[in-house]
A and B are shown apart, each in its own frame.
Chain A
């Protein structure tokens, strides 16, 4: 067992080196939740500086491992795993986007970071969503960053959330309800 500064990206996310992207995305979400500033599981353990360092490492891990090319390079450089040479491993066929998510696939709580992780997992850039839905990219960013002050009134927001959810293949109703609930909790926590 190594402290987080010595852990490799897979150890940081508590996954095996052969984990599929779906598993990685789940692990990343879980880790972000477990080590967020207000998280119960790591309560009293990290001071703010260390927590920031850990969260930064988690982001690095996710950025690298969610990108097939970066991940292959990382595997080779750090773990010494060479990609198997042969036609099947080399095929650069893009993964089919998993579009139809079941409710069960949704993480326990809908939050901005959870949505972003999901969006990144399916590989849809924010700009693309802004273009197809005609929602201002600032609003989309605010949703993902949980910046409740920048967000529009709930009646507009519900529609935005539904469109955003559809764009990343999630159930619109579930996401809208979940996120608005999350927002309410955020606001009452601040008061």
Chain B
């Protein structure tokens, strides 16, 4: 197989439980709406299916599901809400078909408002069943925002991908998403009430204890318990979100991913990987208007090629390398 790569450092799922099926879960999030999460999810899913992989795309945007449209599929009869509400016991029973034989779809809930906020236990049951789906790749299209739903799915995934567009609002939200995600992870990793309080305190940017960055927080935790502090340090080293810049119109836009990677390292002390960028072109909306996936309608468009590079880098476990990169 030309695409195999080591899956040794798979992020321990929600509570690190062992899993039966060897699948890869990729989650696509990014904070702000309109930054191409659904576009990228659909493109990755289609790209994998075109390579002959067995893929399930899941619309985990529990409030505003529309992945089926991006995949050019009809709204399926059964959705995630049927599973969450217990009307369907097995996640395999809500699978819908797409025009590609190896790509199937689980549509998001789009009926009741309350489904957008499932109970924690319901969510964990969902995540466990997702992890047991018998396919090679699972693509999770997350909702906008930093709600716990999105964060939990993001953290449960083997690879968390963030989409950003070259606008201050989007960039700000990506940073907030990253921060919220690992603070949530931290909070799970500590049990001691005093430390839990410290983490909660750190999430407030204007906190009185002067904790501004994750490093300040770890230093604070280490002062209470060196061992837990060390564990958090390890957690942070493993946390490595991937970045994709969408709607790229200039070389500067493309280089944004590199500078954001550098910013994350300097501010958070975490290693972000820059997977690649998708150029802005008209093909995306032209295809979307016809309810057709851009990747299938215009496979040779610059945007489709960009999405292809992102997919290739994910499969190879590599980051983007291009001449702007000063690392050489």
- Interface residues, chain A, with chain B CB atoms under 8 Å away: 1-4, 6-7, 11-16, 19, 23, 26-27, 30-31, 33-35, 39-47, 50, 54, 108
Tally of contacts, chain A with chain B, CB under 8 A: 83
Q: Do the beta carbons of A15 and B168 come within 8 Å of each other?
A: no
8 other A-B residue contacts (CB within 8 Å) besides A35-B266, A44-B175, A44-B176 = A1-B270, A3-B265, A3-B266, A15-B327, A23-B328, A41-B259, A41-B260, A50-B267
Q: Which residues from chain B contact A26 at a C-beta distance below 8 Å?
A: 326
Give the number of residues in B that approach A within 8 Å (Cβ atoms). 29
Q: Do the beta carbons of A43 and B168 come within 8 Å of each other?
A: yes
Q: Do the beta carbons of A31 and B252 come within 8 Å of each other?
A: no
- Measured between alpha carbons, how far is A35 from B261 in the docked complex, in Å? 12
Q: Do the beta carbons of A34 and B263 come within 8 Å of each other?
A: yes
- Measured between alpha carbons, how far is A33 from B263 in the docked complex, in Å? 12
Closest chain B residue to A12 by CB distance?
Answer: B266
- Measured between alpha carbons, how far is A19 from B328 in the docked complex, in Å? 9
Q: List 29 A-B contacts (CB under 8 A).
A: A1-B265, A1-B269, A1-B271, A2-B265, A2-B269, A3-B268, A4-B266, A7-B266, A13-B326, A14-B326, A14-B327, A16-B327, A26-B326, A30-B255, A34-B262, A39-B259, A40-B171, A41-B171, A41-B256, A42-B260, A42-B263, A43-B175, A44-B171, A44-B175, A45-B175, A45-B263, A46-B267, A47-B212, A108-B251
- Measured between alpha carbons, how far is A47 from B216 in the docked complex, in Å? 15
- Measured between alpha carbons, how far is A167 from B104 in the docked complex, in Å? 64
User: In whole Å, how far is B168's beta carbon from the nearest beta carbon of chain A?
Assistant: 5
- Measured between alpha carbons, how far is A42 from B168 in the docked complex, in Å? 9
Q: Kindly identify which residue among A4, A33, A43, A50 contacts B172, using a CB–CB cutoff of 8 Å.
A: A43
Q: Which residues from chain A contact B166 at a C-beta distance below 8 Å?
A: 40
**B123: interface (CB < 8 Å):** no
User: In whole Å, how far is A114's beta carbon from the nearest beta carbon of chain B?
Assistant: 13
User: In whole Å, how far is B221's beta carbon from the nearest beta carbon of chain A?
Assistant: 16
User: In whole Å, how far is A24's beta carbon from the nearest beta carbon of chain B?
Assistant: 9
User: In whole Å, how far is B254's beta carbon from the nearest beta carbon of chain A?
Assistant: 11
User: In whole Å, how far is A85's beta carbon from the nearest beta carbon of chain B?
Assistant: 27
Identify whether the interface residues of B are mostly helix, strand, loop, or mixed.
helix
Closest chain B residue to A13 by CB distance?
Answer: B326
Q: Which residues from chain B contact A7 at a C-beta distance below 8 Å?
A: 265-266
User: In whole Å, how far is A88's beta carbon from the nearest beta carbon of chain B?
Assistant: 22
- Measured between alpha carbons, how far is A42 from B202 in the docked complex, in Å? 20
Q: Which residues from chain B contact A30 at a C-beta distance below 8 Å?
A: 255, 258-259, 326
User: In whole Å, how far is B240's beta carbon from the nearest beta carbon of chain A?
Assistant: 9
Q: Which residues from chain A contact B255 at a C-beta distance below 8 Å?
A: 30
- The residue in B266, B268, B271 that gathers the most chain A C-beta atoms within 10 A of its C-beta is B266
- Measured between alpha carbons, how far is A40 from B256 in the docked complex, in Å? 8
Closest chain B residue to A57 by CB distance?
Answer: B266
Closest chain B residue to A50 by CB distance?
Answer: B212
